[in-house]
Structure 1
Amino acid sequence: MEREKKDIIQEADDLAWSYKADYEQKCMELSNQKKRAEQMEQEAKTTIERQQTLIREKADSMIQDERTRLEHVYRAKIIGYEGIMLGSLLYGILCTLFTAVRSETFVSDFKAFLNVIWKLVWQCADGVLRGAKWAAQIGDLIPQPTVGFIIHWLIQIAIVVAAVVIASVILMMGYVNLYEDYKENFADQISLAELLISFAVLVFFAEPIREVVPVNLILILILIHVLYLGIRKYLKVWRRDGWYS
């Protein structure tokens, strides 16, 4: 009995060790399968990420190519549009200039305007010369003729040069300020359109306008543009300060 008991216990132990070894083997196989599954999952994630990266890069490349193509198409259309606009503008300007040359009223007013400007410049120059000659009489008071002659001409030349320099500086400063303000606030297609339309109307209807308004046409053109600039400046200040609200 004792021997049978030992044999049974030995068989049970062997069976237990067998089951334990089989269990450990199963656990090891399961762990290996789990590692392989995790490795496959990681490889799958890496592959998916790589594919997504390739897809994004391909999509970005396609988008960039399409954007570049559309930009070229847009530029081509803009160049064509600007070409048509420039051609139409040049055609309109040429027609207006030819009409202006053939208009006796406009040509006479243009000449009269330039004549007035020239007379004004000449009067200013003559006034400066007269003032220089009057001031140069101080040199005539010097007893020595040679010294007096030199002082006379030095004073006269100095006054003329000073007047020219001062006038040039004032004109240059005014021109620069006017140019910068016009460039910043008014140099656009609206101002160009207004100027060309006003010029065309004055050229094509020069005679009827002169019959109604006996004013130089060039002066009318300048006054219209100045009035337009004043109205636009007022509207800009009005909107900026929020008076409309």
Structure 2
Amino acid sequence: MIEECRDKLRQAEQERDYALSHQKKVEIPVEKPVLYQKCGNCNQTAYLRAKERYDTQREKLAGRYKAKTAMYEALMFLLIWYSVSTTLFQMIRSKIFISDCVVFFDTIATFIQSIAGWIILTGKNVAQISNGISNPVITGIIYWLIRLLICGGCLVGAEILLAFTGIKIAGLYKKYCWDMITILVTLISMAIAIYFGDWIKTVLPINLLFFLLFVQLVYVGIRWYVKGWRETRGYY
């Protein structure tokens, strides 16, 4: 009797498991309620009117925003143009700033001439190894070939270095300083160096153009540090 009950229980469990594993799932479509739809005869008039009012208001706000943005950009352009023009005119009239610019570029030209002379002299000395060749034609060819290789190699290397440095500086400016703050800092530093150049040179005997470049270098370093600090803390 007990064994018979156990067999029936086992058979019932097997039938239950089979039904659970082989049951057919049927998806019944359910109609979702739509906003403002109260009955079958409703054509969503309230919803369409609300959407139309929303679109109209959005277009008006977008137009106002574009107009204010254009006005702001025009005012900033006029302000920058006025600041640059007045600063340049004052720079032309400033004898101290002009003399410092002449000294700055003259120093750079003298340095470049010294480097070029050293390269030419080095190429000439290295090319002397061709004197050991008995054939004068081959000696002359090797002599000038060595000089051209040394001078041309140094020239190409200097151009590549300048291009790489310029690209790096431009990329750094574009990444960290490509905004209105940079323009304001540049204009303010130029105005200070031009209008107060006499006082600056009295307190600190420094070339004014070098002073402007140094200010830009410090400014870029500060912007780079601040942005890196904000990025590490998840502010960007």
Contact 2:176 2:223 in 1 (8 A): no
Scaled by the length of structure 2, the TM-score of the pair is 0.78
Q: Give yes or no for the alignment of 1:150 onto 2:141.
A: yes
Equivalent residue, structure 2, for 1:14: none
CA distance in 2, matches of 1:209, 1:227: 18
| Length, aligned pairs only | 196
Report deviation, 1:141: 2.2
Residues 24-64 of structure 1: CA deviation (Å, up to 9, x unaligned): xxxxxxxxxxxxxxxxxxxx92222x1x2x33233323322
- Cα RMSD, aligned residues only: 1.7
How do 1:1-245 and structure 2 match up within 5 A?
45-48=39-42, 50=43, 52=44, 54-242=45-233
Task: Specify every segment of 5 or more residues in structure 1 that has no aligned partner in the other structure, as ranges.
Answer: 1-43
1:65 CA displacement: 2.6
2: distance between equivalents of 1:149 and 1:115? 36
Q: Which has the larger radius of gyration?
A: 1
Amino acid at match of 2:218: L
2:160 and 2:104 map into 1 onto residues whose CA distance is 24
Q: Answer 1 or 2: which has greater helix percent.
A: 1
Mapped to 1, the partners of 2:226 and 2:116 lie a distance apart of: 40
Work out the percentage of aligned pairs sharing the same amino acid: 31
Relative to structure 1, is the Cα distance of residues 45 and 167 closer, same or farther in structure 2, using a 3 angstrom cutoff?
same
Offset at residue 186 of structure 1 (A): 1.6
Structure 2 partner of 1:15:
none
State the one-letter code of the partner of 1:109: D
Match of 1:8 in 2: none
Partner of 1:31: none
**SS state of the match for residue 129, structure 2?**
helix
